[in-house]
Amino acid sequence: MIHDTEADQRAHDRPPLDGLVVLDLSRVLSGPYAAMILGDLGARVIKVERPGIGDETRGWGPPFVGSGPDRTSTYFLSVNRNKESIALDFADDQDRVVLEGMIRQADVLIENFRTGVLDRLGLSHARLHELNPSLVVVSITGFGPDGPLAGKAAYDQIVQGYAGLMSLTGPVGVPSKVGLPIADLSAGMFAVIGALAALGAREQTGRGQVVHTSLLAGVVALHTFQGTRWLIGGDLPTATGNEHPTLAPYGAYRCADDRLVQIAVGNESLWCRLAETLDIDAADPRFSSNEDRRRHEDSLNEILENRFAERPAEQWVKELDDVGVPCGLIRTLDDVYDDPQVRSQGLVAEVDHPELGRLWVPGSPIRMSGYAPNAHQAPPRLDQHGSSLRRWASQAETDPVPTSDY
């Protein structure tokens, strides 16, 4: 049955996390990224920052946008949309009262302090639950909340190396980091998953809990088949450049116009279609199964390199697309953000910043049939919403969450 009433439309327009209040006490990337995802889904996110300085990524540049006191790094703008900002000094008694007032009314609190720092500030997880027993506390650390490295400082690249990811990435014999801060980003995504699970549990119990994840945990969780390759198969993975560790052919090949085309052959049907398109004998005993192709990968790659060098990249992509072989060009970000497919998926979002004007930022990767977001709010100026949030915090005992003053 199709519903088309005004009430149905209002329900469709209501964000899935509407009414949820998130306190973002985190900084840099993992926590702010998690909080932004929740904000994209409709939660009210309040970013708590240091007076005068704010999140240090405000100064991580170049590149910067704007000038003078409004100058902001593009790094900060990438992970702080759909948030309000208040500047608080945790050591100041009056600011501490404001913070505790907000904690009493929040549903989720996200922090990525090093293990033990919140305890020293008098804001242990136990204290947070004294203030608000229903609060879901999300704690993101570098290496985990306990164990021999619990207090160790962590940045993304350090964890990429420690967690083995760099040993799997880049050219053979050259350990390389991933071109994105994947340890931070994966921790942020797992933090969101944990937060939503804890909110679901709260529906049954009425009580909050502490959700732990870490940069180390995020990367190790992403090992997937590379992890079981070692744990179960006893085969220690190493870097293989653009080739796949278990499938062949699978990689990037240079074409007549010097551009690269990638192909991914994941089954025998695809191999036969690729072989026919490139005029290769699919039944050649060296290549008749994936295991054979892996064993003779050097010979196969030499043949493929010669074939792909005969025509321009776009022509190969069209021919391979026509027969259903997964393929694609290796592109730079200027091409990506101009791409009509990328824009059709809402992956480029427009925000209107009060000082910086119209900005374009990477959009949310989540689409839902029951919610169509109309607009995103620009990342906030430092303490942009301080006045209204202080008023709200002072009324924590009796008043409901007010409407945001965006």
Walk across the sheet containing 44-49 and list its strands.
Answer: 83-87, 44-49, 21-24, 108-111, 136-141, 210-214
Per-residue HEC secondary structure of 113-170 comes to CCCCHHHHCCCCHHHHHHHCCCCEEEEEECCCCCCCCCCCCCCHHHHHHHCCHHHHCC
* Secondary structure (DSSP) of 248-286: SSEEEEE-TTS-EEEEE--SHHHHHHHHHHTT--TT-TT
Q: Which amino acid is at 268?
A: E
The interaxial angle of helices 313-322 and 268-277, nearest 10 deg, is 130
Q: Quick one: tokens of 74?
A: 């593009």
Q: Are 323 and 276 in contact (CB under 8 A)?
A: yes
Would you give the DSSP letter of residue 72?
E
Q: Which residue has the tokens 């992956």?
A: 347
8 conformational bin, left if phi > 0, alpha if psi -120 to 50, beta if neither: alpha
Token couple for 342: 């990328």
Active site residue 212: no
Radius of gyration of the chain (CA): 25
Could you tell me if residue 402 is left (phi over 0), alpha (psi between -120 and 50 degrees) or otherwise beta? beta
CA distances from 161 to 146, 219, 243 (A): 20, 10, 21
How is the beta sheet containing 250-254 ordered, strand by strand?
250-254, 260-264, 327-329
- What gap in Å lies between CA 178 and CA 293, rounded to an integer? 28
Q: Which of 129, 212, 223, 244 is catalytic?
A: 244
- 3-class SS of residue 109: strand
Residues forming the active site: 244
